Amino acid sequence: MMRNFAWLCRAVVLLGISVVATSQAQTKAAPALIGFDPSTKVFRINAADTTLVMGINESGQVQTLYWGEHLSAKDHFAVAKAMPGASSFDLPVTTTPQEFVAWGGGLFVEPDLKITFPDGNRDLVLKYVSHTIDANRLSIVMKDISREVYVTLQYEADAETGILRRSAVVENRTEAPFTIEQIAAGTWNLPRGTDYRLRYLTGRWAGEWSLQEQPVNPGKVVLESRRGTTGAQNNPWFAIDRSGSADQDEGGVWFGALGWSGSWQISVEQDALQQVRITGGPNAFDFGYLLKKGERFQTPCFYGGYSAHGIGGASRLLHRFEVNSLLPHHPDSKLRPVLYNSWEATGFDVDEAGQMSLAEKAAKIGVERFVMDDGWFGQRKNDHAGLGDWYVNPQKFPHGLKPLIDKVHSLKMDFGLWVEPEMVNPDSDLYRKHPDWVLEFPGRPHTEARHQLVLNLARPDVRAYVYGFLDKLLKENDISFLKWDYNRNWSEPGWPAVPQEQEKNVYIDFIRNYYSILDELRHEHPKVEIESCSGGGSRVDLGVMQYTDEVWPSDNTDAYDRLLIQNGFTYAYTPATMMAWVTDSPNWVNNRALSLEYRFLSSMQGSLGIGANLNQWKPEDFATARQMVERYKSIRETVQRGALYRLLTPEHNSEQSITETVSRDGDQAVVFAFLHSSQENYPFPRIFLRGLDEGATYSISAFAGKLAEGTPTQASGSYWEHHGIDVDLHGDFQAMAFTLKRSR
Ligand code: GLA
């Protein structure tokens, strides 16, 4: 039975009379306030440090009047007036910044909605009908000028961070199905200007999370995935500032992220009149969603916010929002346990004795969760076979998984398992039985990647199979954690079992089923935690984050490369979800040798895991690891929940990098410093801390490496921020870390 789950914004569509309401916000922060002035028809959302103002203009369009830093309630906004057309070539529908605009009536900028009706008509012009305000939620209903097509714009304001969650619901109240050819959650309109800078994230396998920047010029930049999944090539996040003026902690930054794990697009467009618009939703490429009579289509959520405190301020808001409002169990999401994963140690060669022996060693260093990776099921000896056959391999585990799980529990760890549910190897019983279960265009080749094909999860029978085997696995075994992998992207995305006009619904229905399986599994097995992995960080977004507790940012576990990868990751996502394993040296990626301490310090900036072959460790490695794991436990709440300051980024081949995290209660700060290589005997740069209570006293202590001689053991927050701290770092690939503790 599928639960009636809210796969999107959890926002509701209410009909009724507008009221001005104050949020009964769940947090202690100032409540969000949504207001509507009937005399001017102006809406205003004030949340934390952000204000969004919209007005219904004379054409019934919902026009953006302002988005950015918080404005005083005294600032008055007059009735919205559509922009005049620029000429006979640019009509008002194109020149007026609108919150949600359909393709019709001569629109030439990116539309939020485009529909083809069965009679061939493709014109759609939406006008305001009504609205509802319910605490921190606003719903605005619009309707086409002649057809029974309704669109509800939904806004939900987060009182604590000012982040707005937007979505749109299209309702077909006509007598026939129609095809949605393009749809977005809505458009963010920036104050008009020509001096904007866009930052975004790009990557590839083993090289995810590179920060890019470029001016927003006339024209359009489209960040996207056509892969059927989030992808690493672009990640659905953006940040924009003016004149390239915002740095880590200063300057205004508008930012946003799309919560969708399928093909997606975010377009950033500077139109002919220099209006900058950011529109986001499922990718319009190869898109087409058949919406039948009486059906509703809800878009993925597009989140947006504003920080006056630079790009660092923007990511601190996102981190807080993710932990407090998105992650499973929010606002009480759990801290990540220290885990061990067998992949880099054993590859596919897992068996009962080998895993038990690794588990014994992992337990000795303070690991709390033992995870067996790929290789335990079907006829899985390598990546050529087995995916789809989710029975325990009888040669490797003659007594099932129970003896290993019992052993892991006896060592006071919980047990986790790798799965890749949406995939099948042609060499599997499942494929031999159900060759029609894969995405395919009949009569065309099936393009394999890593010797596997993608199951069509949009099909109800495939969904039932995938849910069924996972549910059984979790019922029959005491499993606390699934590492859910996804090691290729789509090809030949056909769905021949449904009528041709419905085939492209696969882009949406696949992802809805993916989310619904995660949701239902979590409901049925509440203690199970899930990691989203896709050959590394190819499925990380605010959509999947609602159903998964952590993510695997990259298969690249080189602790030096990881500094840049992790730096990029944290622009959009909280370190609380960022798994980072300590693996063997030299590392398989670059053949780079790094000390065990360096590898630990790199990983301790996120959620610590160990992925090394413990069978090859020497006694002194165990001693170092034990000590580092213990220290990590004393700072993990700060690292996973605190406010992250990038004091010096590893971007642009910087020789040094430094992060600082201040705990939520302000009592602890943790600093990690890394040196690539000393040059010409220059000292390591002085470290100036941020985010401390200037009047309070803090004691400092190094827990790896050395502070410079003469560093006081205690000083004020002001001293640590303004005088700064020297550390003793020189040589190649050196690292150190220290903490500050506030005196009570
Ligand atoms: C992917 C993951 C790895 C590992 C392998 C197993 O590449 O990212 O961590 O689980 O699959 O096949």
Which ranges of 309-425 does DSSP label H, i.e. alpha helix?
310-321, 343-346, 352-364, 402-410
Ligand 1 pocket, mutate which of 374, 384, 587 (most atoms under 8 A from CB): 374
Task: Please give the number of the atom of ligand 1 that sits closest to the Cα of 418.
Answer: 10
Closest to 369 in 3D by CA, of 611, 622, 635: 611
Q: How far apart are CA 35 and CA 32, in angstroms?
A: 10
Q: Whose CA is nearest to atom 11 of ligand 1?
A: 535
Cα dist from 580 to 335, 369, 554, whole Å: 14, 14, 9
Cβ of 533 less than 6 Å from ligand 1: yes
Mean pLDDT for back-to-back runs of 10 residues, the chain (744 residues): 36 27 39 90 97 98 98 94 94 97 97 98 98 97 98 97 98 98 98 96 98 97 98 98 91 98 98 96 98 98 98 98 96 94 97 98 98 98 98 98 98 98 98 98 98 98 98 98 98 98 98 98 98 98 98 98 98 98 98 98 98 98 98 98 98 97 98 97 97 98 97 98 97 98 94
CATH number belonging to the domain at 368-552, selected among 3.40.50.720, 3.30.428.10, 3.80.30.20, 3.20.20.70: 3.20.20.70
**Residue to substitute in 229, 340, 343 for testing ligand 1 pocket (most ligand atoms within 8 angstroms of CB):** 343
Assign domain 646-742 to a CATH class: mainly beta
Cα–Cα distance for residue pair 242/264, rounded to 1 Å? 26
- Ligand 1 centroid, distance to 348 Cα (angstroms): 10
Distance CA 201, CA 401 (A): 40
CB-ligand 1 contact for 555 (6 Å cutoff): yes
> Is residue 373 within 6 Å of ligand 1 at its C-beta?
yes
Task: Cite the annotated binding site by residue number.
Answer: 205, 373-374, 450, 483-487, 533, 555
Question: Class assignment of domain 5-326?
Answer: mainly beta
- The catalytically annotated residue of 158, 389, 485, 541 is 485
| Alpha carbon distance 718, 739 (integer Å) | 16
CA 625 to chain centre: 30
Dist. CA 485 → ligand 1 center (Å): 7
Q: How far is the CA of 419 from the centre of ligand 1 (A)?
A: 10
Specify the residue for token string 């937007």.
166
Instruction: Locate the domains of the chain by residue range.
Output: 5-326, 368-552, 646-742
Burial of 116 (0-12, 13-18, 19+ CB in 10 A): middle
238 phi, psi to nearest 5 deg: -145, 160
Q: What is the pLDDT of residue 14?
A: 25
Question: Is there an atom of ligand 1 within 6 Å of 536 CB?
Answer: yes
- If you take atom 1 of ligand 1, which residue's CA is the nearest one? 535
- Quick one: which atom of ligand 1 is closest to the CA of 555? 8
Please say if 555 is a catalytic residue. yes
CB 169: neighbour CB atoms within 10 A? 20
Closest atom, ligand 1, to C-alpha of 536: 8
Distance 241 CA to ligand 1 centre (A): 37
| DSSP three-state, residue 414 | strand
DSSP 74-138: T---PPP-PPPPSSSSS-HHHHS-BSS-BS-SS--S--SEEEE-TTS-----EEEEEEEEETTEE
Residue 418 beta carbon below 6 angstroms from any ligand 1 atom = yes
- Predicted pLDDT at 22: 31
Cβ(374) – ligand 1 distance below 6 Å: yes
Coil, helix or strand at residue 201 = strand
Distance from the CA of 420 to the center of ligand 1, in angstroms? 9
**Measuring from atom 7 of ligand 1, which residue has the nearest CA?**
535
Ligand 1 centroid to 729 CA: how many Å?
35
The values of phi and psi at residue 333, to 5°, are: -60, 150
Q: Atom of ligand 1 at shortest distance to CA of 373?
A: 10
Is the CB of 271 within 6 Å of ligand 1?
no
Q: Tell me if 60 sits within 8 A of 127, measured CB to CB.
A: yes
- 645: which strand partners? 660
List the residue whose alpha carbon is closest to atom 4 of ligand 1: 343
Closest-CA residue, ligand 1 atom 9, reads 555
Mutate to test the pocket of ligand 1, among 229, 339, 555 (most ligand atoms within 8 A of CB): 555
pLDDT at 28: 46
Residue 150: how many other CB atoms lie within 10 Å: 18
Give the pLDDT of residue 20: 32
Report how far ligand 1's centroid is from the alpha carbon of 567 (Å): 22
**Which pLDDT belongs to residue 565?**
98
**Active-site residue among 414, 509, 555, 561?**
555
pLDDT at position 24 is 31
Q: Is the CB of 487 under 6 A from ligand 1?
A: yes
Give yes or no for residue 609 CB within 6 A of ligand 1.
no
Q: Is 665 a catalytic residue?
A: no
Write down the pLDDT at residue 501.
Answer: 97
Q: State whether the beta carbon of 420 lies less than 6 angstroms from ligand 1.
A: no
Burial class (CB within 10 angstroms; exposed 0-12, middle 13-18, buried 19+) of 619 = exposed
Question: How many CB atoms neighbour CB 399 within 10 A?
Answer: 10
* 694 Cα distance to chain centroid: 33
Q: Which atom of ligand 1 is nearest to the CA of 533?
A: 8
What's the confidence (pLDDT) of residue 32?
Answer: 62
The H or E element containing residue 506 is helix 506-524
- Binding annotation for substrate: 205, 373-374, 450, 483-487, 533, 555
Token pair of 549 as six digits: 């507790």
Give nearest CA residue, ligand 1 atom 6. Answer: 374
- Which string of DSSP letters, residue by residue, matches 270-334? E-TTS-EEEEEEE--TT--EEE-TT-EEEPPEEEEEEESBHHHHHHHHHHHHIIIIISTTTTSPP
